[in-house]
Structure 1
Amino acid sequence: MTSIELPQGVLRLSVTSSTDVGSVRRVNEDALLADDLLLAVADGMGGHARGDLASATAVDALRANAPTAIGAVDAVFDLVEAANAAVRGLDVGGALCGTTLTGLTLVRPEEAGPVRWALFNVGDSRVYRWDGSAMQQLTVDHSAVQELVSAGLLTRELAETHPDRNIVTRALGADDAVETDVWTLPVVPRASYLLCSDGLTRELSDERIAALFERRDAGEIAAVDLARTLVREAVDAGGRDNVTVVVVDAVLDPRA
């Protein structure tokens, strides 16, 4: 449990994580970061040169540049740019080397204003929020099938089995400049956040993921075991890809 002093109160964070190579792949190309002020999941691009090296390099760059204090939103873009530069600098003999990156941190958009959550995303790894009754996907996949879904040409259900479902349209390492989605959200009194690679969401529906959070809330699954349970269920359901999960439980004790 980590306690962070915010202008609006004390934020108490509990973070758990888990990763598994899955049942098919020989190498785990996922990487994760679970720092006090910075959390992230990276999924190395399968089929390209050293996806494991790309994801690890991106996470190492985040760790090296992790904030020691809550900063401005611009700092989030700088973090992702540094990670992209690190991946671009890898020596893989001229081959394409890339990774997704999604994450969560705290920012203060206005000097005198409240601290907010900042989500950042490049690729098709995801961030969800569980509010105790509903699971909401907060990030938007940068993928070929998501573009079809957004255009109304494909349902989310059909997207899960579409032959182009593994094609991402943005990734770290693809270009010198990276286009990053960043959103800020209020720090609410109580919420859980799930960061995951697509190895989880390929095997478990959003409804099944929500059901496991409900079981955690009911005491049927220990909080410290939820991340491992999510990963284990994804592997048992087929494990066609590496599976990585970070779960953040956040409780705000407001100032009187």
Structure 2
Amino acid sequence: MTRPLIELRWGSATSAGGRSTNEDSLLAQDDVFVVADGMGGHDAGEVASATAVEVLRSLVGRRPGADEVRDALVEANARIRALPAGPGRRPGTTVTGVVLSSHESTPCWIVLNVGDSRTYRMVGAVLEQVTRDHSEVAELVADGLVRPDDAPYHPWRHVVTRALGGGSADVEPDVDIIAVSPGDRMVVCSDGLTDIVPDARIEADLKAEPDPQAAADRLVATALAAGATDNVTVLVVDAPAVLPAS
């Protein structure tokens, strides 16, 4: 079966920010673009995020379906839970991103998410968050108990309700499918960016930089200039054209 051809362009940037080490991991290869934000103290978070990325690397070049992506996340959860647990929290990580695939010859993004890292889509110069935060504050906002404007300052804003690894043997990843539109710009990032840079500024920086590498560099620089205290990782993936199937 022939598949539509997608010419992707992408860029990535990461920084330890205000931390002594960088526990974020990223994968940007061919058709798989993910960011994992590790947690657990010491080097446990770094190992957990790297493990998640390594499992998801198996999807590269396969154009998988949603079920295969979900299965890979379940496998990553099991692999991380099998890691040695040192003092403090068990190793764990968030993970989010997109996998380029196709459905009935239509190119699509498979959007995956566990935790409070985020994936955005910008099309027509409008930025939209396409993942849902798995966090205490997001649930409070959804229940009408916290105003959206107050969420970035809430003391529970860093408490995640889902993660790979950690204390739960089961994982409930969000896996969604959206059609690729010519001109799509996908942004995948850890919360080191979104905790300190509002969506309106993210949108403005993306508009200012047509090149995806320059856009990723600019967003990380914006977070650092704003006083980021956490690791900051950004992937920017452009689909400037959808070519006819050969």
Distance in 2 (alpha carbons) for counterparts of 1:223 and 1:40: 15
- What's the TM-score once normalised by structure 2's chain length? 0.92
Instruction: Verify: 1:122 aligned to 2:114, yes or no.
Output: yes
- Quote the Cα distance in structure 2 between the aligned partners of 1:66 and 1:166: 29
For 1:16, the equivalent position in structure 2 comes to 11
Task: Assess if the C-alpha contact under 8 Å between 2:30 and 2:60 holds in 1.
Answer: no
Residue of structure 2 in register with 1:159 after alignment: 151
Identity of paired residues, percent? 44
**Change in 2 beyond 3 A, CA 1:11/1:152:** same
User: C-alpha deviations, 1:19-66, integer Å up to 9, x for none?
Assistant: 0000x2111111100011211000012547721111111112212x22
- Contact 2:164/2:171 (<8 A) preserved: yes
**Displacement of 1:178 after TM fit?**
0.8
Instruction: Provide the rounded CA distance (Å) in 2 between the counterparts of 1:86 and 1:119.
Output: 21
Q: How far did 1:6 drift?
A: 6.4
Query: Given the superposition, is the C-alpha separation of residues 96 and 253 from structure 1 closer, same or farther in structure 2, using an over 3 Å criterion?
Result: closer
Question: Cα gap change, 1:149/1:92 in structure 2, threshold over 3 Å: closer, same or farther?
Answer: same
Determine the structure 2 residue equivalent to 1:97.
91
Q: 5+ residue gaps in structure 2? A: none
Say which of 185, 190, 200 aligns to 2:193.
Answer: 200
Q: What is the deviation of 1:107?
A: 3.0
Aligned to 2:184: 191
Distance 1:232 1:173, change over 3 A: same
Aligned match of 1:55: 49
Shift in Å at residue 71 of structure 1?
A: 2.5
Contact 2:26–2:34 (Cα < 8 Å) also in 1: yes
Corresponding position: 1:82 with 2:75: yes
RMSD: 1.9
Q: Does 1:40 align with 2:29?
A: no
Q: In terms of mean alpha carbon deviation, does 94-103 or 75-84 score higher?
A: 94-103
1:28 corresponds in structure 2 to 22
Counterpart-to-counterpart distance in 1, 2:118 and 2:75: 20
Counterpart of 1:238 in structure 2 is 227
**Partner AA of 2:177 in structure 1:** T
1:78 to partner: Cα distance = 1.1
Q: Which letter does structure 1 place at the counterpart of 2:139?
A: E
1:138 aligned to which of 130, 136, 144: 130
Deviation per CA, 1:137-167: give whole Å up to 9, x if none.
0000000000011111112220100000010
Q: Is the 8 A contact 2:10 2:212 kept in 1?
A: no
Partner in structure 2 of residue 73 of structure 1: 66
Letter in 1 for 2:6: L
Residues 162-181 of structure 1 aligned to structure 2 (within 5 Å): 162-174=154-166, 175-181=168-174
Runs of 4+ in 1 over 4 A off after TM superposition: 46-49
Is the 2:29–2:60 contact (alpha carbons within 8 Å) kept by the matching residues of 1?
no
In proportion to residue count, which structure has more strand? 2
Q: Distance in 1 between matches of 2:101 and 2:242?
A: 18
Q: Note if 1:215 corresponds to 2:208.
A: yes
Whole-angstrom distance in 2 between the partners of 1:6 and 1:138: 28
Q: Matches of 1:6 and 1:192 in 2, distance apart?
A: 24
Q: Assess if the C-alpha contact under 8 Å between 1:48 and 1:97 holds in 2.
A: no
Give the Cα–Cα distance (whole angstroms) in 2 for the partners of residues 253 and 68 of structure 1.
Answer: 18
Shift of 1:205: 0.5
Which deviates further from its counterpart, 203-212 or 54-63? 54-63
Q: Distance in 1 between matches of 2:242 and 2:140?
A: 42
TM norm structure 1? 0.89
